[in-house]
Amino acid sequence: MLRLALVLLALFAPPAAGAEALVDRALNAALAAFQAAKPHLGRELFGVDVAAYSDALALGRFRSGHWGGTVAVDLVSGDAKEAGCGRYAAFVRLPPRDGVIALVLCPEFSTPGADALRRLTILHEMVHVVAGPDECRAMAFAARIEHLALGRFTPVERYWRANGCAGTGFSLP
């Protein structure tokens, strides 16, 4: 459903829809990385249900063991005044409301030349969508997907230290 909405947006959006093109590229890159990594994953990675994650990323809708029931993902644009946009390029409004989780894309998400960070951000935020707010889980999962798909992962050591992830049960590749 999410993919269909993006395709329709791409077909009918005005040519100057640069932000939408960036979002579409980021979603496609994240999905491609996940699909490449998926054969190497079990049913669960770092407590993330891989099938639910796959559906959330590819379809924008998933059956959630974590939240209970079916949950839809709603991509929304955030503005610089929004609290989460002061710290992040994107964030997720948790818990779901009426079966919907909003993934908020902030102005920083559109920073020129940051395609790898956009891919990582989508991979990371989808963990929150599926499995909740743990920053270390989300970054460990996203880095592992990149490593399995690309043979490397976006450097996140500073983020890892800032969130105290070294003392958790999660690890970077």
The mean pLDDT value of the chain amounts to: 90
Q: Which amino acid is located at 94 in the chain? A: L
| 139: in domain | no
Per-residue pLDDT, averaged over 116-125, amounts to 97
| 32: in domain | yes
Per-residue pLDDT, averaged over 112-124, amounts to 94
Instruction: Assign 117 to helix, strand or coil.
Output: helix
| 6: in domain | yes
The pair of three-digit structure tokens given for residue 7, joined into one six-digit string: 């395709």
| 143: in domain | no
Structural domain total, the chain: 1
| 53: in domain | yes
| 160: in domain | no
Domain range holding 97?
2-133
Q: What is the pLDDT of residue 82?
A: 81
Q: What is the pLDDT of residue 65?
A: 94
The residue ranking higher by pLDDT, 7 or 103, is: 103
Per-residue pLDDT, averaged over 152-159, amounts to 95
User: Using one digit for the tens of pLDDT, what is the confidence trace for 81-113?
Assistant: 888 898 899 999 999 999 999 999 999 999 888
Measured between alpha carbons, how far is 47 from 170 in angstroms, rounded to an integer?
10
Q: What is the pLDDT of residue 17?
A: 54
Measured between alpha carbons, how far is 66 from 14 in angstroms, rounded to an integer?
38
Q: What angle do CA 103, 104, 106 make, to 5 degrees?
A: 150
Lowest mean pLDDT among 49-58, 80-89, 103-112, 119-128: 80-89
| 145: in domain | no
| 173: in domain | no
Q: What angle do CA 167, 155, 19 make, to 5 degrees?
A: 120
Looking at residue 60, the DSSP 8-state letter turns out to be: S
